[in-house]
C-alpha cells in the first residue's frame, strides 16, 4: 500500500505543480552563453540521485520540481546529491564524481587522516552532465552549506591538492587542478560562508553555558543530526557541523581563492527586524518555517567572542533562522560589491539584494509554499546574459 501511495504522490508532484504554472516567454538561448546550471543542496538535503527527490524535490519542495520546470524552458539544469552532513571536502569530491561520471575519491591522505574509506559511490555511466570541460562550462548554485561546498569544489578544480597527488599514484583527476576554467559562475544562496552563530548557540547549549528552551533544544539536536553526527568512526573535524562554526569556516576560507575568471553572486536572506533595543527579532510579516522559529530571536540577540578571538558583534544579529545575513554576503577575505548590472565583472562577489525570507525560503519552504520560479528564472537569464 505504501508503494502505491508513494507512486501516486510522485505522479501528482511530477505533473500538477508544473502544469499549474503558466508558461513564460523566457528564452534560455537569448543570452551570451547557455552553460549548464548545477544546483547543490545544503545541510540535510538531497538531489536527483535520491528517491526522496521524486516525491519532494529539494529545489521547489511541495511547490513543484523547479529543476524540471527550468529544463522544460530550455535551461540545462541538474541537482547534485552530496552527503547531507558531510564536510565541504567530502561533498566537493562527490560533486566531481557526479559531474564527470566517475567513482568518488576522497583522497588517500584525507581519508587516512579523517579515518574513513577512501572511495565512495561509482557514478560511471550515470553522470549528471553529458559533457563537462573548458568548452562546456558550468554555473554552480549552492543553497546553505551547498555554497561552501561549491567554493571548495572550485578551489580543487583550479589548484588541485599536492598532498593527495603525493599520497597515491591513482589520485582523482580532481586533485590535479588546472580545471578552474571549467566553471563560469558561482552563486551562493543563504550560505554560511563565514560560519553561523546557530552552531555557536548549539555548542553553548551542549556545554551548559546557555540553557535552551525546550524548542531550542529540539532544534539544536535536529541541526546536529543533519550536520553530520557520523557513526562510521570518522573524526569530528570531517563534517558540515565542524565547517560551519565561525572559526573553522574562516580557516577554511583562508585556503580558498577567488578565481579571477569566475563570476560570483550571493543572495543573503533575512527574516528579522530591530526590536528597538538593538536586538533582532522575528519579522512577523514574513512566513517562517517551524524548524527555525526557536533560533531566530536567539541569534538576533547573540554577541560574543569565538575561541580564536573573532568578535561576533551586532552586525551578526540579522539572520534567517539558521544563517547570519552578514555571513551569507561573501567570504570575509574576498573582494565584494553590492550587485549593479552595470558593474558586474568576474573575480569579485556581487551581493544581490537581501531576500526577505527564512533559511528554507530559497528552496521553496516546506510548510509555507514559496513559489520561486520567477526569482530563479531572472537569475538564470541574468547569468546567461553576462
Number of domains in the chain: 1
Structural domain including 77 reads 34-384
In the chain, the percentage of residues whose pLDDT exceeds 70 is: 84
DSSP secondary structure of 68-88: HHHHHTT--EEE----TT--H
126 part of a folded domain? yes
Given a contact cutoff of 8 angstroms between Cβ atoms, the answer to whether 312 and 305 are in contact is yes
Residues 315 and 178: their CA atoms lie apart, in Å, by: 38
Residue 4 lies in a domain: no
The enclosing domain of 262 has a CATH number of 3.40.50.1820
**Predicted TM-score of the model (pTM):** 0.89
- Please give the pLDDT value at position 31: 78
pLDDT at 324 over 70: yes
**For residue 285, is it within any domain?**
yes
Rounded Cα distance, 199 and 211, in Å: 14
Q: CA 312, CA 323: separation in Å to the nearest integer?
A: 13
* Domain-located, residue 90: yes
In a domain, 349, yes or no: yes
Asked, for residue 20, whether it belongs to a domain, the answer is no
Please state, in angstroms and rounded to a whole number, the distance separating the CA atoms of residues 261 and 158: 11
Give domain status of residue 21, yes or no: no
Measured between alpha carbons, how far is 304 from 314 in angstroms, rounded to an integer? Answer: 10
Helix (H, G, I), strand (E, B) or coil at 280: strand
Domain assignment present for residue 18? The answer is no
CA distance 108 to 119: 9
Q: In which band, very low, low, confident or very high, does the pLDDT at 201 lie, cut at 50, 70 and 90?
A: confident
Q: Which of 367, 216, 366, 357 is nearest to 375 (CA)?
A: 357
> What is the band of 211 on the pLDDT scale with cuts at 50, 70, 90?
low
Nearest CA to 109 out of 122, 93, 121 is that of 93
Note the Cα 247 to chain centre separation in Å: 19
- Tell me the mean pLDDT in the region 8-29: 46
Amino acid at each position: 500500500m505504501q508503494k502505491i501511495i508513494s507512486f501516486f504522490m510522485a505522479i501528482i508532484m511530477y505533473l500538477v505543480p508544473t502544469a499549474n504554472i503558466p508558461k513564460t516567454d523566457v528564452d534560455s538561448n537569448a543570452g551570451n552563453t547557455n552553460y549548464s546550471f548545477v544546483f547543490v543542496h545544503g545541510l540535510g538535503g538531497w538531489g536527483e540521485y535520491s528517491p526522496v527527490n521524486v516525491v519532494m524535490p529539494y529545489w521547489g519542495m511541495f511547490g513543484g520540481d523547479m529543476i524540471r520546470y527550468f529544463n522544460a524552458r530550455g535551461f540545462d539544469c541538474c541537482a547534485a546529491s552530496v552527503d547531507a552532513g558531510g564536510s565541504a571536502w567530502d561533498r566537493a569530491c562527490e560533486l566531481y564524481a557526479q559531474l564527470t561520471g566517475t567513482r568518488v575519491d576522497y583522497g588517500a591522505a584525507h581519508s587516512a587522516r579523517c579515518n574513513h574509506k577512501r572511495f565512495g559511490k561509482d557514478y560511471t555511466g550515470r553522470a549528471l552532465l553529458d559533457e563537462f570541460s573548458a568548452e562546456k562550462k558550468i554555473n554552480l548554485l549552492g543553497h546553505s552549506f551547498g555554497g561552501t561546498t561549491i567554493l571548495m569544489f572550485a578551489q580543487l578544480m583550479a589548484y588541485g591538492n599536492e598532498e593527495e597527488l603525493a599520497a597515491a599514484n591513482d589520485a582523482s583527476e580532481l586533485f590535479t587542478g588546472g580545471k578552474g576554467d571549467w566553471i563560469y559562475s558561482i552563486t551562493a544562496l543563504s550560505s554560511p560562508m563565514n560560519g553561523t552563530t546557530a552552531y555557536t548557540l548549539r555548542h553553548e547549549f551542549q556545554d551548559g553555558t546557555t540553557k535552551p528552551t525546550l524548542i531550542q533544544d529540539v532544534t539544536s539536536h535536529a541541526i546536529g543530526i543533519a550536520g553530520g553526527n557520523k557513526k562510521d568512526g570518522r573524526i569530528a573535524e570531517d563534517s558540515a557541523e565542524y565547517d560551519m562554526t565561525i572559526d573553522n569556516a574562516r580557516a577554511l576560507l583562508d585556503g580558498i581563492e577567488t578565481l579571477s575568471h569566475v563570476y560570483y553572486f550571493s543572495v543573503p536572506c533575512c527574516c528579522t527586524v530591530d526590536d528597538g533595543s538593538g536586538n533582532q527579532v522575528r519579522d512577523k510579516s514574513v512566513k517562517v518555517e517551524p524548524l527555525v522559529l526557536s533560533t531566530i530571536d536567539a541569534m538576533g540577540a547573540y554577541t560574543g567572542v569565538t575561541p580564536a578571538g573573532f568578535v561576533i558583534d551586532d552586525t551578526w544579529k540579522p539572520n534567517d533562522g539558521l544563517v547570519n545575513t552578514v555571513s551569507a554576503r561573501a567570504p570575509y577575505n574576498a573582494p565584494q560589491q553590492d550587485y549593479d548590472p552595470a558593474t558586474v565583472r568576474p573575480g569579485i562577489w556581487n551581493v544581490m539584494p537581501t531576500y526577505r525570507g527564512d533559511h528554507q525560503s530559497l528552496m521553496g519552504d516546506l510548510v509555507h509554499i514559496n513559489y520561486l520560479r520567477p526569482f530563479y528564472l531572472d537569475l538564470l537569464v541574468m547569468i546567461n546574459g553576462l
